[in-house]
Amino acid sequence: MPPRCQSRGQISSATCSRPQPASESTKRQGSTLVTHNPNAITALRSDLAGELRADDQGRRVAVCGWINARREHSQHLAFIDVRDHTGVVQCVVDNAHDLRSEYVVRVQATVTRRAAETVNPNLATGEIELKDCEVEVLARSDPPPIQIDARAGVDENHRLRYRYIDLRSERMQRNLRARALVNSALRAAMQRQGFVEVETPFLIASTPEGARDFVVPSRHSPGQFYALPQSPQLFKQLAMVGGIDRYYQIARCLRDEDLRADRQFEFTQLDAEASFVSQDDVLAFITEAVGDATEVVTSERTGEIPRLTWLEAMERFGSDKPDIRFGMELCDLTEVFATTDFNAFKAPSVKGICEPAGATKTRKQLDELTDKAKQWGAKGLVWMKVEPDLSLTSPVAKFLRDDEKQALVARLGAEPGDLVLVVADELARARHVLGLLRLELGRPAVNEGSLSFLWVVDFPLFEGLDETGAPIPAHHPFTMPNMADLELLDSAEPGVLLKVRSQAYDLTLNGWELGSGSVRIHRPDIQRKIFDLLGITPEEARQKFGFLLDAFGYGAPPHAGFAFGIDRLVALLVGEENIREVIAFPKTQSGADPLTGAPTAIDPRHLDELGLRLSPDPR
RNA sequence: GGUCCCGUGGUGCAGUUUGGAGUGCACGCUGGCCUGUCAAGCCAGAGGUCGCGGGUUCAAAUCCCGUCGGGACCGCCA
């Protein structure tokens, strides 16, 4: 066969830095050094199964992969589909009796156009097939516990136990490759904007605030522990003091908190920090990076990301990570019931939502909603059905005055057939419960419809007061207050303190918190004041964050940063509802790995070496 | 710490409400037939601790209690 010169580029040996073929028998054939994809060529193959096309007709090729399906017609004709990560190609063989599902094979064959009536339009390689096949079995397989193209779902625990097989699925291949594209797009975007990738340690000192730490016992210092980082927070600030100017890292973070669909013990963040910047600068950097990541997966660019203040988000959506893909916004009714005789509505705050066409709910469904509202902390839930004449049907209707009912309907813009839900409580609780009810009743699946990014800005500096009356930081204690609110810090009134805004901001997507950041305090006087307010004595501050405070004593540039979860971003970009679908080897909700069996007991001698002894009954 | 859902041949399900023989479906597996299929088709076959333990009952996959595992959520996640 004469060498064919293909239009897609010729591969010379000089461009191929891979190891040379191990032996003559595995050497690729001279004429097959022409391919669609330079990266396809290895010692064992010339092409990828899913990339062969009609214009490869006549080429002698070698493809490697797994047997996806076998169709035996007789002892003289059979088909096998060979699958690799690019797709499948059909091979025509005489006898496939010994070629079973998931066997790993190398097929040397000639690309042949199919007869018109046997073309398979559902297959990218459907116009061709491989003939004159020499099939070499590279590895046999037991019948796989998971069918790769399972038509029904497979139990997730089972998938995780055999994750190495599950990863062969088109879904997992797509997700992990999308994730790789996102990672490289993020790196490119950050580097283009002048950020420097700096790695930070995994074995660090435990810091007292925040989530529960994973800890690692020290062999050299028995009784002492390292913590695994919840984030590189302190190190990235030190990098700023160190003159890095712009730091970023695709960082693994570990937090020992209960798991959810959007939470794993271990997760990955794009972590960034920059010097001499404002909040707007940071939002611009991140918007650029997120835009590139989105584009590389969806081929569409996110435009300007809208902003909401925290206060507006809480008032309108009852959440600091509002899902703005649908309406049903919260409506304040406190004024409406300011003079009510109905005891249940005599509360600091009365708020409601209106579900369009929600009045068809049964008494049982409404009771279930009420139960949920109570579980979420409400004292109770009042429901009202809007009748055709805009009157209200409700167990409590008789306690309300006509003017109150009319004003309520008007405020909510309720229409006949709607369902109105009202919660009267402390402000924060009313917002919280109604925010959850809104999601319960109206929220589309997280992966449905558009990608609605949203910046939430102007978070409060403090999220509440602890038992001693000291304010609780909403973000972390190094968050810079809004300069316009600086004087409020001197107020002795807790109510005033809680109104202080911070230069902290979150990025959300379809109701998931992607990440957060803040402008940091670099002025020792402001930092002292914040510690003061938080009830942290100078001694405590020194003990907890001494090295950072020391560093800030040697010329800390004004700086600000951000970090967002790559697992969550990728999941939503590829339309998954669960970040486990974009993590190669995730853990179950109880933190176990069904594949490796982790966590496991360790050898008593190992414990001894670490100076550890287990309590008699460690649950 | 709490609420809810799920657990039945290798896989995914139905059966549980109203107790009556491990009864059924699809995929897979094994053998056979079949020369153009492509999630091939046809025939035959193998394969079960109904998660586990206890209770009620003449009788439990089914009802009750407990427990283990998986999932969703609340709390938690500065």
**Closest residue, by C-alpha, to the C1' of B12:** A152
Order of strands, edge to edge, in the sheet holding A453-457? A196-197, A246-254, A266-275, A559-565, A512-519, A504-509, A453-457, A307-309
User: Please, which positions of strand B sit below 7 A from a protein CB?
Assistant: 1-3, 10-13, 27-30, 32-41, 69-78
Single residue among A390, A424, A442 that ends a domain in this structure: A442
Same domain, A102 and A197: no
Assigned token pair, A443: 């929220």
Residue A274 banded pLDDT, cuts 50, 70, 90: very high
Give me the pLDDT at residue A14, please.
28
User: Is the CB of residue A368 inside 7 Å of nucleic acid strand B?
Assistant: no
pLDDT over 90 for what percent of chain A? Answer: 77
Same domain, A336 and A291: no
Same domain, A387 and A415: yes
Q: Is residue A152 part of a domain?
A: no
Same domain, A82 and A106: yes
pLDDT digit string, tens, across residues A202-256: 999 987 768 999 999 999 999 999 999 999 999 999 999 999 999 999 999 999 9
Number of domains forming the structure of chain A: 3
Q: Is residue A588 part of a domain?
A: no
Q: Is the dihedral of CA A166, A168, A170, A172 positive or negative?
A: positive
CATH number at residue A66: 2.40.50.140
How far are the Cα atoms of A181, A263, A303, A511 from residue A448, in angstroms, in the given order? 22, 20, 19, 12
CA of A400 to C1' of B17 (A): 41
For residue A125, give the nearest of A83, A94, A165 by alpha carbon. Answer: A83
For residue A71, the surrounding DSSP H or E stretch is strand A60-72
Residue A13 banded pLDDT, cuts 50, 70, 90: very low
CA of A170 to C1' of B46 (A): 32
Q: State the average pLDDT over residues A379-394.
A: 94
Same domain, A178 and A302: yes
Q: What residues contact A36, with CB distance under 8 A and at least 6 apart?
A: A6, A8, A47, A48, A51, A52, A53, A56
Q: Is residue A350 part of a domain?
A: yes
pLDDT of residue A11 exceeding 80: no
User: What is the residue-averaged pLDDT of chain A?
Assistant: 90
Give me the pLDDT at residue A618, please.
58
User: Is the CB of residue A118 inside 7 Å of nucleic acid strand B?
Assistant: yes
Assigned token pair, A205: 């000192």
CA of A95 to C1' of B34 (A): 13
pLDDT digit string, tens, across residues A424-464: 999 999 999 999 999 999 999 898 889 999 999 999 999 88
Residue A371 banded pLDDT, cuts 50, 70, 90: confident
Q: What residues contact A278, with CB distance under 8 A and at least 6 apart?
A: A519, A560
Chain A residues 447-486, Cβ below 7 A from strand B: 463, 472-477
Residue A12 banded pLDDT, cuts 50, 70, 90: very low
Q: Which domain holds residue A524?
A: 172-308+452-583
- Per the CB < 8 A criterion, the answer to whether A321 and A597 are in contact is no
Q: Is residue A165 part of a domain?
A: no
What three-state secondary structure class fits A598?
Answer: coil
For residue A58, give the nearest of A104, A14, A2, A135 by alpha carbon. Answer: A2
For residue A460, give the nearest of A314, A558, A316, A330 by alpha carbon. Answer: A314
pLDDT of residue A8 exceeding 60: no
For residue A160, the surrounding DSSP H or E stretch is helix A156-161
Q: Is residue A596 part of a domain?
A: no
Give me the pLDDT at residue A492, please.
74
Same domain, A72 and A184: no
User: Is the CB of residue A443 inside 7 Å of nucleic acid strand B?
Assistant: no
Same domain, A125 and A207: no
Same domain, A107 and A28: yes
CA–CA separation, A89 and A79 (whole Å): 10
For A4, other C-beta atoms within 10 Å of its C-beta total 14
Same domain, A436 and A462: no
